Amino acid sequence: MPVNSPLRVGLIGYGLAGSVFHAPLIAATEGLRLDAVVTSNPERQAQARAEHPQVATLASADELWDRADRLDLIVIASPNRTHVPLATTALRAGLPVVVDKPLAGTAAEAAALADLADERGLLLSVFQNRRWDGDFLTLRHLLDTGALGEVRRFESRFERWRPHPKGGWRESGDPAEFGGLLYDLGSHLVDQALTLFGPVRTVFAESDARRPDAEADDDTFIAVEHTSGVRSHLWMSAVCPQLGPRFRVLGSAAGYVKYGLDPQEAALREGLRPGSGWGTEAQEAWGRLGAGESPLTGGGTTVPTLPGDYPAYYAGIAAALREGTAPPVTAREAVAALEVLEAARVSAAERRTVELAGRE
């Protein structure tokens, strides 16, 4: 294809992940063109055509493989149980792949996919959009500038108040679905912790299904000891009537406390698209930096939240395909995160700390 032609993208799945995150971000990325959407749901097909009039809507992945020679990238935003078989087929067809998190149900399956991509010389990346949350980018800046000193504890939360299950595969108790918050929100929390503080030595977890009708975990805690010495405490819950801070990071010189969620997901859900002012957070939601003071009473210094930048992920994918640069998230990073999630599942079931070998 001509060098200046856009890379043609086939998107599998048009539920929440496909319609709210992937399709809008792909469409907003220079050098990418959403070419086809796979969904068997007629209402979602109509939605895809209304929102992206140029796309072909297909009822099955088999129809997508029939037009593989017309595509340059496959994006998989379908249920977790389909990630491995669909990614395997795409890679064997010679197509680069982006997979929504989690890449696979097990670290072994993820490693096998990474090996296959390496053998074929193809890109395999995982959509970890939370690396481009504004509060996470702000925290990285504070770490890079030494504002916290030596970090000793990293506390991170994704908490919600949903006293009744919504249903669907994300809350299914079927082991094949890999439902529950550990693999859903935990995929983000663990990825962020590993990105900031590196490999893990030990994992301890508590995991419960608190709601009467819950089939999968809806209230989980993970304590991680990194080989760097930092301890990460990660909470994910659907049963929090009072929400804790999104971040509480404690260092030898100062601490950073931040409440509230990055605004990009809410904007995408409302139909807004990247443009001027994208990812900007309201001033009243900014975090505070200080020592020996309470941020709840105005102590410390207000830290402006950097703009969030979800579009950076697909811009990085386009650059990796065009220029051969490293993808913004690698498959091997996804393997490392899945090792922690698997260890957390074992820890919660057996009520013990799990050591990860070879992490020194």
Per-residue pLDDT of the chain (360 residues), as tens digits, is 455 789 999 999 999 999 999 999 999 999 999 999 999 999 999 999 999 999 999 999 999 999 999 999 999 999 999 999 999 999 999 999 999 999 999 999 999 999 999 999 999 999 999 999 999 999 999 999 999 999 999 999 999 999 888 888 787 877 877 889 999 999 999 999 999 999 999 999 999 999 998 898 899 999 999 999 999 999 999 999 999 999 999 999 999 999 999 999 999 999 999 988 999 999 999 999 999 887 777 778 999 999 999 999 999 999 999 999 999 999 999 999 999 999 999 999 999 999 997 544
Tell which residue, 162, 157, 160, 167, has the closest CA to residue 215. Answer: 167
Q: What is the pLDDT of residue 3?
A: 59
Q: Name the phi and psi angles at 338, rounded to 5.
A: -65, -30
Q: What is the DSSP string of 140-197?
A: HHHHHTTTT-SEEEEEEEEE-B--S---SGGG---GGGT-STTTTHHHHHHHHHHHHH
Of the candidate CATH numbers 3.30.70.270, 3.20.20.70, 3.30.360.10, 3.40.50.2300, the domain formed by 130-309+341-350 belongs to 3.30.360.10
Closest CA to 168 of 80, 233, 267, 46: 80
Q: Could you tell me if 27 and 11 are in contact, meaning their C-beta atoms sit under 8 angstroms apart?
A: no
Q: What is the pLDDT of residue 156?
A: 98
CATH architecture assignment, domain 7-129+312-326: 3-Layer(aba) Sandwich (3.40)
Distance separating alpha carbons of residues 235 and 121, to the nearest angstrom: 37
Q: Which residues contact 310 (CB under 8 A, 6 or more apart)?
A: 21, 25, 129, 132, 264, 268, 274, 279
Q: Is the dihedral of CA 158, 198, 134, 332 positive or negative?
A: negative
Contacts 24+ apart (CB under 8 A), 354-358: 354/202, 354/203, 354/204, 355/201, 355/202, 356/199, 356/200, 356/201, 356/202, 356/203
Q: Establish whether domains 7-129+312-326 and 130-309+341-350 are of one fold.
A: no
Domain residue ranges in the chain: 7-129+312-326, 130-309+341-350
Cα separation, 242 vs 249, in Å, equals 20
Q: Record the pTM.
A: 0.94
Q: What one-letter code names the amino acid at 95?
A: L
Of 104, 108, 111, give the one whose Cα is nearest residue 80: 104
Q: What is the distance between the alpha carbons of residues 200 and 193, in angstroms, rounded to a whole number?
A: 9
With 0-12 / 13-18 / 19 or more C-beta atoms within 10 angstroms meaning exposed / middle / buried, residue 192 is buried
φ, ψ for residue 165, nearest 5 deg: -60, 145
* pLDDT value at residue 37: 98
| Distances, alpha carbon 276 to alpha carbons 14, 19, 214, 272, in Å | 26, 22, 41, 11
**Is residue 114 within 8 Å of residue 337, measured between CB atoms?**
no
